[in-house]
Amino acid sequence: MIKDILGQRIIHDSDKPFITHEDQKISYLRFHHMVNGLYHTLNTKANQYVGLQINNKLKLLIAIIALNRKKSIPVVYPDYPNIDEHIKAIKIPILIKDFAITEDCNDINTEYSYCEDDTQMVMFTSGSSGLPKPCELTYQNFYESSKMWNQIIEFKNSDVYLNHMPLVHVSGMCIIFRALYYNFEVILDNFSVDNYTKYHHKVNIVSMVPAMLNKILDQSRNISFMSKKAIIVGGNNIDRGLLKTVKAKKIPAYISYGLTESCSGIAGAWIDEYCEDRLYNAHPQVKFNLLDGMLNISSPTIIKKYLNSIKLFRNQFTTSDQVKIFNKNKFLFIGRSDNVIISGGENIAIKYVEKIFMQFKKISFCSVEIVEDKHWGQVMHATIESNNALDLAKFKEELKDYLPNHMIPKKISLK
């Protein structure tokens, strides 16, 4: 069994800051009161899947922990315009979209525990094969992932981690559980260069995708990263120019590899080592093999299964990534095998994007080209044909009702 780590923190460090959100420091105890405020209003049952679509990061965390304590299973929906397709595919309706935060200070119970193999929550992949896949992540997955990262970064309770990754992505959610298990503070905010500048002197660990780091370097040239413990950069296909800049500026970057199915990063390398050979080192307890030419991962962080699937992964998962393996614990990323690009750290299926374009009656042809890009790694350029006069600017706006921003090609032109 895994004990409720928030409950353990309340016993030993109740007044220690856990989260800073909208310039408000929230201790473990106060967060516990917020969780209880929602917990006592919930009528969910044990093992019930409960759809969430909550944009406020603090409220999302409160809802997840409250549902966990009910032994219910949160299904964390992304804020995508085509969300109805997700719901139709997995048949779990959204039950919670917003709520007023209240604090219940009367309930002092901290004795919650969970079976390691039970599903803690369902999170979605970024949609590398079309519609994002719903992944059942267990309590053990988040615990083992946190342990792995501690052996890489060596967390201290004095660390302050800036989390501007989306919490609907496993990368952002895992940071929260690292903080809980290793007792450090997290600053929650959305990404912008201004927000990074605002918190720059208060934090010593940050996670970001290459596009975020590029924006910071382009717009804030005088910012030094020397005082940072680690800048964790996720996402494959990082531009060589960015790597060169990171090394030249002596940024303590850790280049990581991971996916939703592995509960975030399971391999990586510090910048100096990575620049030498671009090899990823396995994290502790992780092993690599080739299966039909694809990377096969063995790790205690592998998800239990996809929601509505009977196939259990049993700590083994085969990706769609083509790699070359060295000594069972290192690999060189070569590319994807499934017509997918990696743009700004997000996997995007080209065929799915083309399919959405062709759903418009006015579009008679669509072809998407992959273009290498300094900031994004890869981007899509779409060429389209129309039987009628087409207002491209208006069409681009219409696309936002069907595709999230990261799936809309950077350039759309008429043939």
CATH number of the structural domain spanning residue 105? 3.40.50.12780
- Whether residues 286 and 385 share a domain: the answer is no
What share of the chain has pLDDT > 90, as a percent? 58
pTM of the shown model: 0.87
What share of the chain has pLDDT > 70, as a percent? 97
What pLDDT, on a 0 to 100 scale, did the predictor assign at position 373? Answer: 79
Q: Mean pLDDT of all residues in the chain?
A: 90
Residue where a domain terminates, one of 284, 308, 336: 336
- Whether residues 219 and 365 share a domain: the answer is no
Residue where a domain terminates, one of 313, 336, 359: 336
Residue where a domain terminates, one of 283, 301, 336: 336
Average pLDDT over residues 373-400: 84
What pLDDT, on a 0 to 100 scale, did the predictor assign at position 384? Answer: 86
Q: Tell me: the pLDDT tens digits for 324-354? A: 998 879 999 887 766 777 776 677 778 888 8
- Whether residues 390 and 246 share a domain: the answer is no
318-321's contacts with Cβ under 8 Å and 24+ in sequence apart are: 318/291, 318/292, 318/294, 319/259, 319/261, 319/294, 319/295, 320/128, 320/129, 320/294, 321/236, 321/294, 321/295
- Whether residues 61 and 115 share a domain: the answer is yes
Strand ranges, E, within 209-273: 230-234, 253-259, 264-270
Q: Choose the weakest-confidence range: 99-108, 124-133, 406-415.
A: 124-133
Average pLDDT over residues 230-237: 84
pLDDT band at 281 (very low <50, low <70, confident <90, very high): very high
Structural domain of residue 355, as residue ranges?
340-414
CATH number at residue 397: 3.30.300.30
- Whether residues 233 and 324 share a domain: the answer is yes
If one counts the domains in the chain, the total is 2
What residue has token string 């965390």? 61
What pLDDT, on a 0 to 100 scale, did the predictor assign at position 337? Answer: 67
- Whether residues 284 and 403 share a domain: the answer is no
User: What's the length of the chain?
Assistant: 415
- Whether residues 276 and 349 share a domain: the answer is no
- Whether residues 47 and 135 share a domain: the answer is yes
Asked if the model's pLDDT at residue 165 lies above 90, the reply is: yes
- Whether residues 410 and 271 share a domain: the answer is no
- Whether residues 77 and 39 share a domain: the answer is yes
- Whether residues 399 and 276 share a domain: the answer is no
- Whether residues 295 and 363 share a domain: the answer is no
